[in-house]
Structure formats: C-alpha cells, structure tokens
Amino acid sequence: MSKPKVFVTRRWPALVEEKLKALYEVTLNTDDRLLTAGELKFALQNYDAVCPTVCDALSADIINVDNKRCKILGNFGVGYNHIDINAAKRQGLVVTNTPGVLTHSTADIAMTLLLMSARRGAEGDRLVRAKQWQGWCPTHMLSSDVTGATLGLIGFGRIAQAMAKKAHHGFGMKIVYFKPSPADEYVTDDLKATRCNSIEELLQLSDFVSLHCPGGDATRHLINAGMLKLMKPSAHLINTARGDVVDSVALIAALKNNKIAGAGLDVYEGEPDVHEGFLALNNVTLLPHLGSATLGTRTAMGEKVLANLAAFFAGDHLLDQVF
C-alpha cells in the first residue's frame, strides 16, 4: 500500500524531518525559501497533506484551486490566521495546529522583550558595537524599573498566564488582565491578578502592556492611535501575538513622539517585511519572530503535526483540529 504524500513548506528540525520521511512520501522545501502562490497551489493539487507555517498565506484563491488532492493542512504553529478558514471549511479541508507545546518559550521571549525595552538593552548593544560608549555616567541611558511595576495582559490564555507567573513570582510585578470572561480563580489567586473591565482600563493602569490575543479580522489594529493615547508616557508595549493586532504606523508615531516610552516586537504586519519607520527608532526592540524558536519547542511542534497526520490518516479523533 502506497504511503500518503506529504508536502512541507519550510525546513523543520532534523529529527522530525527524519520521522516524516520514514512514515510518508515527503517533499521538503530544501532551499527553505518562501513559496509562491503557484507553488502552494501545486502542492494542494499533488499531495494528500500540506504542512504550512505562518509564512504561507493560504488565501481563498489558493485553497479554491481546481483538482485538489490535499485533504489536510497540518499547520506548524498555533496561530492560523494565515489560512482562510472559511475557504478551507467550504472545500472540506481539515486544519490542525500545534497548541500547548510553545507556551513557555513564547512567554520567555515576551519577558525578554519586556526587559530589553525597559532597560534599553538593544539600544545599549548598538552603542557598544558602534564604539560610541564613553564610559559609565550617573545619568547615562536611564531606563524603567521592572520589579514592582504593573504588567497588563490583553488575552489571558496559556502564554499570557506563563508570562504572568514569570513576571509576578520572578519580578514582583502586579498583574492585571483583560479577557471577555474571568480566568479561573486558582490562577488569579496564585498571581494576585485583577481583571480589568475593558482594554481601555488596562492600558491606563499598566506600566507594561503585553499582547496575547489571536490575529484575524476581529483583532486587526486593536492597538491603534486611540488606544496608544491611553497608555502612560512611561509605558512599554510588547507584542508576541500577531503583527496585525497593532497599527504599525500609529505605533511608530507614538514611539517617535515619545507618547510611550518603548516597545518590544517579535511579530509584524506583513512579515517578513518590517515597516521602515521602526528601523530608525532607538526605543523599539525588534526580534525576528523568535517566540517558539528553541530546538526543543520546534521539535515538539513538529511532533504535534506528526501526531495530527497519523490520526487523520488512521481515521482517528484529531486532538488539535481547528474546526
């Protein structure tokens, strides 16, 4: 009996790729480059499963391609706003993702960005590398205190709660959060966390605001010029969620005009393109979407995709089916 044909859009950790090769007839993107719409359409027409990443914009036009062979999109990642889910539903495509295994690595990056933004870490690194540092001075590069400050979390799922634990128990930060319904009492009791009645309330209270909401139409430009005006001039914005949650132009203006103190970004609108306005600013820390980028986490994500594919081809229940 022939093995199912599987197409993988980007390179994965070697251990997982070897397992894929043993189980399926696999085609890898050996150049590890972004694929064109035509190449993605070809994959859907010629493979039983396609395994995309956040880099692969699977629009309705691509998903609706004629003579489709693909029956499952085994997404390598938790977020799936790069996939037109409504089109996938209409076409009978199963979509799975990889939740639960990247919680701590992404929370670690959020804390890294918070600390770098607060203490002007990226700016200091650039100064030393440019050989412009002239030695210690009592007023040089004064920055923001983290210990005891208030951290506001927009969204309060696994990653936000993991960040809150690191911030509260590690740095004594006060935790406020916003989500439509209250979090479990055992979680909020451990963190001494307070739920805000609105995002607006949270923005006004917080010294650091960290975004942990999903991407998509409902949250596009959730953080816009009006919302940024509510933040303290001393506050910092951290985004490890999705780039389109933040209006880049509005954030650049707020940073440039010192309406807020700083920002730390791991995700961007239209990535891998980054708005040129960010590149000229010293008060923003820019990372290249490193949230889940540890070997252990990326391997675990690949293992999740493998488990989803195995269940699908065996006709078993899918634990990570998006819809």
Active-site residue set: 242, 271, 289
Q: Dihedrals φ, ψ of 194, to 5°?
A: -115, 130
Q: Dihedrals φ, ψ of 140, to 5°?
A: -80, 130
Using omega within 30 degrees of 0 as the cis cutoff, is the peptide bond preceding 272 cis?
yes
Return d(Cα 101, Cα 283) in angstroms, integer.
31
Return d(Cα 190, Cα 161) in angstroms, integer.
10
* One-letter amino acid for residue 77 of the chain: G
- Given a contact cutoff of 8 angstroms between Cβ atoms, the answer to whether 253 and 225 are in contact is yes
Look at residues 312, 311, 239, 304 and name the one whose alpha carbon lies nearest to residue 278: 239
- Given a contact cutoff of 8 angstroms between Cβ atoms, the answer to whether 202 and 154 are in contact is yes
Cα torsion 175, 177, 182, 185 to 10°: value is: -10
Return d(Cα 143, Cα 165) in angstroms, integer.
23
